[in-house]
Structure 1
Amino acid sequence: MTVSLDRPPLALTGDGALKTPYRPRIVGVGTATSAAVYSQQEVLDAFAITDPKIRSVFANSAIDRRHLTLPEPDADGVRAPEPQGDLLDKHKAMAIEMGAEALRACLKRAGAELSDLRHLCCVSSTGFLTPGLSALMIRELGIDRHCSRSDIVGMGCNAGLNALNVVAGWSAAHPGELAVVLCTEACSAAYAMDGSMRTAVVNSLFGDGAGAIALMSGPGDEASGTTEGPTVLKFASCIIPEAIGAMRYDWDRELDRFSFYLDPQIPYVVGAHAEIVIDRLLGDTGLRRSDIGHWLVHSGGKKVIDAVVVNLGLTRHDLRHTVGVLRDYGNVSSGSFLFSYERLLDEQVTRPGDYGVLMTMGPGSTLETALVQW
C-alpha cells in the first residue's frame, strides 16, 4: 500500500507507541561478517560427519553458505572441539572486529562520523564480557569517552528489536543526537561439536555476523545526510512463558561448556503466536496486514519462516529478504533482520508513506515487533 504524501502520520496512543513529540528515524544501516565462507557440505566434510540423519538436517536447511570461524585442523586433519576459554577469547576478538566494520558501514550510510555518536548500544548472545562490548568498542575505535552506552546480553535472536525499542526511547529524549544499536554475534564461538541431533540442528543453522542501525529524532535528523530510512512508530512484544525452555543457551555438563538447545517444535510455537503480536502491533493504528508493504522478519530457519508465512497469510515475495539472508548467511542471531533491512534499502523500492513491520523471535520464547513508516 502506498500512502499519499499529504497523509498525516499516525496519531498513536496505545501500548507500545512512542509517547513523545519526536519520533526517531532510522538514518543508517551496516553489516559485516567473518572472513571464511563454508557451504553446508564443506562444514560436514570439515567435521567428518557421516550420520545420514545429521547430514539430512544440513541438506534441508535452505542454507547455501555461512560465514564461520572454525578451529584449525591438526596434523591428522582433525578439528578438535575448542575449550570454553578459547571460545570466549574468540567471541571477544570476533565481536570487536565484525562490530567495528558494521558500525563504520552504518555511519557511512548515515553520512556521519564516529565523533557524531552520542549513544552506543551493543547486543550479543554468543559470549559474555565484563566490561561490556560497548566499552571495548569505545576504546578500540577511539569513540568519545563521554558517549553514553548500554549492553544487552543473553536475550538471543530477538534482542535486536529489544535494543531498538530501548534506544528509540533514548533517541526521542535526545533530539538531534545520533544513537546506534550494534548487534554482533560470533556464532562460531558458541558451537558444541559432538554427534548428537541436538547440536546438529544448531550447527546446521547459525553463522557469524554483525549489523548496526542508526537512529536520530527531531530537527537534526534532516541533517543526517540520508532520507532513505523510515520513522519508528511503535513496538509490540509477546512472550510465551510456557515455552521458556524451548530455546536456550546453557551449560552442558557432559561437554563442559555452554551449548545451544532448540526444541524441534519451536517453529510452530512461534508461528502460532505471530498473529497475536501483529494484531497487537496494528490494533490501534487502523491498519490491516494488507496495508504493510514491507516485512522484515528474523531469518530463524526454514521452518520458522514457513510458519510465519502461513500464520500471517504472507507470500514468499513478502519475505524474500528473510529467505535470501538465511540462504546466504544462515541465522546470524540478533542482527539477522538488519541484513534483510539493508537488502530492502538496496532494492530502492520503498516510497514515502509505505509501512513496514520488523519482527524478531528468540528465547523466552519471545516475539518482538516494530511498526515503521517511510
Structure 2
Amino acid sequence: MPISLKLISLGTAVPPFVIDQHDAAIAAHTAFASRFGEFDRLAKVFNSAGIKRRYGVRPIDWYLKTSGWQERNAAYIEGACDLFLDAANKALALAGLLASQVDIVVTVSSTGVATPSLDARVSSKIGFRDDILRVPVFGLGCAGGVSGFAIAAKLASSRPGCIVLLVAVETCTLAFRMDKLTKANIVATALFGDGAAACVISATERGIAEIEMSGQHTWPDTLGIMGWSVDPEGLGVIFDRAIPPFAEANIRPAIASILSPSGLSIADVDRFACHPGGAKVIDALETALDLGQGTLNHERGVLSDYGNMSAPTALFVLERLIAGGLPARTMMTAMGPGFTASCVSLKAAA
C-alpha cells in the first residue's frame, strides 16, 4: 500500500454535566422572562433548534449565577484540560500509540484564554515528550475543527513520518450570559454545548482515510457576522447577520472555488460532512449544495445529541460517518469567524 497522508484515528469527548433542552428553556425563562420583553417570542428557539440535550463543564444552576471573567476563564481552563485529555487519550488508544510518540500537537480552542496553553498544561499528565512541537491555535471559532485538521495535515506532510495530534476543544456554554438581554444571547443559550475531538494524522500505510486536499475561502467585509465580544463578565456571542441565508447564497461558489485548484468539483463529492451550526443552517446547506432534504442526517443527529460545540462539532459528524463506513470521497466543511469557509477532502482508505 502506498504511503500517503492519512487520518489514523478520531476520538471524541464531552463533559459530565447533561443539559437537557427542556431544563435549559426553564432556566432561561427564570433568568430572562421578567427582564426582557422579547423573551417569550425568542424562546421558541429552544424548540426549533433541533436539540434534545447538550453537555456542559458546569451544572446548569452554575450558569444562573453572576460570574465574571475570572471565574468563567478558570472554568474554561479546568474543563478544557479535562476534555483535552479525554479526547486525546481516546484517539491515541485507537491509533495504538502513546502520547510520547506524538511529534506535533495542534490545539484548537477559542472559548477561553490559557497561557500557558492547554497542551502545556496537560503535558505531564498525558505524557508528551519534552521536545514536542506545540501549535496552539485561537480565533477560528466554528471553523476550527476543519481548519485545525488542515493545519495538522500540512504539518504532517512537511515532516514525513512524524505523528501529529490535533485536539479541538471548546467550552461554549461559558458564554451563557445572564446580563445580556439580546437575541444573540438567547440563541446562544439555546444552542451551545461543550465538547472535544482529537485526531491522529501521519504519512503512513495504514489509516481510516487519505487526506486529499484542503482550502479556505474568506468573504470580504464580513467580520461582524460571528465572533466574541469581551467585557468584565467574559465572552459574549456576536451574531450580527442571519447566517442561514448567507450560507444558502454563498457556500456553494466558495466550496467550488476551493475544490477547483485540485481539479475537483462539487459533483465529485460523495458526502459532505458539515458543521451543524443549527437546524436552519443544515437546511440552508442542503439547499445550497443541491442535497435532498434529510441528506445531512448525521449533522442533525449530532446537533440533537450535543448541540453546537463550535470547533469539534464537524469532527463528531465525521466520527459517525466513519462508524457507518466512509464513501469514496468525503468533504468536511465548516463556517466560522472571518467570515470563512474551511474544507478538507478525505478519500476512503483502500
Q: Same fold (TM over 0.5)?
A: yes
Q: Say whether the 8 Å CA contact 1:295–1:358 is kept in structure 2.
A: yes
- Which of 282, 287, 290 aligns to 1:310? It is 287
- Could you tell me which amino acid in structure 2 is paired with residue 158 of structure 1? A
Consecutive unaligned residues in structure 1, runs of 5 or more: 10-21
- Kindly indicate whether residue 20 of structure 2 is the aligned counterpart of residue 53 of structure 1: no
CA-CA distance at 1:346 after TM superposition: 1.1
Give the drift of 1:68: 1.8
Q: What pairs with 1:194-343 in structure 2 (closer than 5 Å)? A: 194=179, 195-217=181-203, 221-222=204-205, 227=207, 229-252=208-231, 256-343=233-320
What SS is found at the alignment partner of 1:154? Answer: coil
Q: Aligned ranges for residues 99-138 of structure 1 at < 5 Å?
A: 99-138=84-123
Q: Tell me the CA shift for residue 53 of structure 1.
A: 1.5
1:154-203 deviations in Å (ceiling 9; x for gaps): 22111222222222121112222210110010112222124432210111
For 2:57, what is the secondary structure of its paired residue? coil
Which residue of structure 2 aligns with residue 174 of structure 1?
159
2:24 partner amino acid? V
CA contact (8 A) 2:19 2:60 kept: no
Most deviating of 314-323 and 95-104: 314-323
* Structure 2 residue matching 1:204: 3-state secondary structure: helix
How far the C-alpha of 1:111 sits from its partner, in A, is 1.9
The sequence identity of aligned pairs, in percent, is: 28
Q: Which amino acid aligns with 1:104?
A: N
- Match for residue 329 of structure 2 among 350, 355, 373: 355
Aligned to 2:36: none
Separation in structure 1 between the aligned mates of residue 234 and residue 7 of structure 2, nearest angstrom: 38
1:318 is displaced (CA, Å) by 3.3
Larger displacement relative to structure 2 (229-238 or 189-198): 189-198
2:76 aligned residue: 91
Does residue 185 in structure 1 map to residue 170 in structure 2?
yes
Change in Cα spacing, 1:289 to 1:184, as seen in structure 2 (3 Å) is same
SS in 1 for 2:166: strand
Whole-Å separation in 2 of the counterparts to 1:231 and 1:123: 22
CA–CA distance in structure 1, aligned partners of residues 4 and 41 of structure 2:
50
* Conserved? CA contact 1:277–1:369, under 8 Å: no
Q: Distance in 2 between matches of 1:66 and 1:191?
A: 13
How many pairs were matched up? 340
RMSD between superposed Cα atoms in Å:
2.1
Mapped contact 1:295–1:318 kept (Cα < 8 A): no
* 1:41 and 2:22 matched: yes
Match of 1:28 in 2: 9
Question: What is the CA–CA distance in structure 2 between the aligned matches of 1:68 and 1:164, rounded to whole Å?
Answer: 24
Q: 1:336 to 1:82 in 2, by over 3 A?
A: same
Deviations 1:52-99 (A, max 9, x none): 22320111111111112346749xxx9312211000000000110011
| Correspondent of 1:63 among 44, 51, 61 | 51
Q: Does the Cα contact within 8 Å between 2:108 and 2:169 map onto a contact in 1?
A: yes
**Cα deviations across residues 211-234 of structure 1 (Å, max 9, x unaligned)?**
0111011xxx23xxx54x111111
Partner letter of residue 362 of structure 1? G
1:23-63 Cα shifts (integer Å, max 9, x gaps): 42100000000111122210122341543223201111111
C-alpha distance in 2 between matches for 1:179 and 1:274: 30
TM-score, L = length of structure 2: 0.91
* DSSP 3-state at the match of 1:241: coil
The amino acid that maps onto 2:337 is: P
CA deviation profile, 1:104-159 (whole Å, cap 9, x unmatched): 11112222221221110101010011111121121332211111110001221112
Tell me, yes or no, if the aligned pair for 2:84 and 2:196 is still in contact at 8 Å.
yes
Q: What code does the residue aligned with 2:222 have?
A: A
**Cα distance per residue 1:294-348 (max 9 Å; x no partner):** 211011111211111111101244311111111110111001111011111111x
State which drifts further: 230-239 or 121-130.
230-239
Regions of 4+ moved over 3 Å: 69-74, 284-288
The 1:290/1:71 distance shift into structure 2, 3 A limit, reads: same
**Which runs of no fewer than 5 residues in structure 2 stay unpaired?**
34-38
**For residues 105 and 249 of structure 1, what CA distance do their matches in structure 2 show?**
30
Q: Does 1:80 align with 2:62?
A: no
**Cα separation, partners in 2 of 1:196 and 1:27, compared to 1, 3 Å:** same
